[in-house]
Amino acid sequence: MSIAVRNVTKTFAQFKALDDVSVDIPTGSLTALLGPSGSGKSTLLRVIAGLDTADSGTVQIEDRDATNLPPQRREVGFVFQHYAPFKHMTVYDNVAFGLRVRKAGKAETKAKVDQLLELVHLEKFQTRYPAQLSGGQRQRMALARALAVEPRVLLLDEPFGALDAQVRKELRAWLRRLHDEMHVTTVIVTHDQEEAMEVADEIVVLQDGRVQQVGHPHEVYEHPANDWVMGFLGPVTHFGDLLVRPHDLDLAHEPSDDAMPATIVRVTRLGFQTRVDLDADGEPIYAQLAREATDRLTLDPGTQVHVRHARGEALPPSAPDSVPAAVEEPLAAEAQSGRAQVR
């Protein structure tokens, strides 16, 4: 294990940010701490980095007890949500900072900084000040700065939170490729489940300072530990008493044993899929259909259809290793949303 967090509790004034949290981060993995705001995910990251101290519990980094080590000696690279650039220094000096603090030689520093600036595509910007960079460029500079000291673990706090959607997607894919090349143990904090599923090997779901579930992205999505995790990780709707994914609902014109009748209320076409709002005996539910299903059915408001849960009891739970995780499948989110079927 690269990082082992044991029974960590942290309270701010009256607020319990972390409540008896234990997490293992395997060496070389990319792990996402996923949760809504106030779930304690950022606090956990800061406790690992030594920027906050836990009230109780221990933190081990690479089999070394780091609980009482100051941040200077934890050999951790930290990328802040708002990048925390040294705004009075050029891009070059920002990246060189850690090396200079360690009294690295001039030639060695230059070689390392040049290499990193090339890695993050900022070679041409080395004499600029952070104020003259775009958000994405600042983010990459912060990443290069953290990597310069060759940390044992890389910690990223909502690294893409302040970027617009397009840049965010690009940087996400780039970070994943970077990780596959460098194999630095990486922990990324995010509140965006799609982001977590796209980049991470493993997801730690947090809520109210407690770990709700740990697992591969696919595992957490398909076999959530509880209703809260299910609702947080993706869209949900009701099927009788069951909480289900709307893309797991099938619609048919003919009745069947395991189907229940409902009336179509509204049909919304969202590109390659269609959202069908239904009235199931007074309860509003909705199904998400693939294009092929949409074409086959007559979907008019007021029409009666029969709703069936496509992944009912009959389906055996899939073993995590038999399923391609988001690592090998960069389009995991797309694959999941395309699962809706209709017979």
Where along the sequence are the contacts to other proteins (CB under 8 A)?
49-51, 70-74, 76-78, 80, 82, 84-88, 97-98, 101-102, 129-132, 142, 145-146, 148-149
C-beta of 141 vs 307, nearer to other proteins: 141
List residues bridging with 238 in a β-sheet. 243
Cβ 118 to other proteins shortest distance, Å: 20
Strands 237-239 and 210-215, sheet pairing? unpaired
Cβ 77 to other proteins shortest distance, Å: 7
C-beta of 102 vs 253, nearer to other proteins: 102
Cβ 273 to other proteins shortest distance, Å: 40
C-beta of 84 vs 119, nearer to other proteins: 84
Cβ atoms of 26 and 214 within 8 Å: the answer is no
Q: Which residues contact 35 (CB under 8 A, 6 or more apart)?
A: 41, 191, 205, 206, 207, 232
Cβ 317 to other proteins shortest distance, Å: 41
Cβ 165 to other proteins shortest distance, Å: 24
C-beta of 87 vs 183, nearer to other proteins: 87
C-beta of 33 vs 293, nearer to other proteins: 33
Distance of CA 341 to the CA centre of its chain: 27
In this structure, the chain runs to a length of 343
DSSP per position, 147-166: HTT--SEEEEESTTTTS-HH
C-beta of 76 vs 117, nearer to other proteins: 76
Give the separation between CA 139 and CA 158, rounded to whole angstroms: 11
Q: Which helix (H) or strand (E) holds 41?
A: helix 41-49
Cβ 46 to other proteins shortest distance, Å: 8
Give the separation between CA 56 and CA 59, rounded to whole angstroms: 10
Cβ atoms of 264 and 303 within 8 Å: the answer is yes
Cβ 28 to other proteins shortest distance, Å: 21
Give the separation between CA 292 and CA 235, rounded to whole angstroms: 21
Other C-beta atoms closer than 10 Å to the C-beta of 102 total 10
Cβ 218 to other proteins shortest distance, Å: 33
Cβ atoms of 302 and 235 within 8 Å: the answer is no
C-beta of 85 vs 215, nearer to other proteins: 85
Give the separation between CA 59 and CA 23, rounded to whole angstroms: 10
C-beta of 73 vs 266, nearer to other proteins: 73
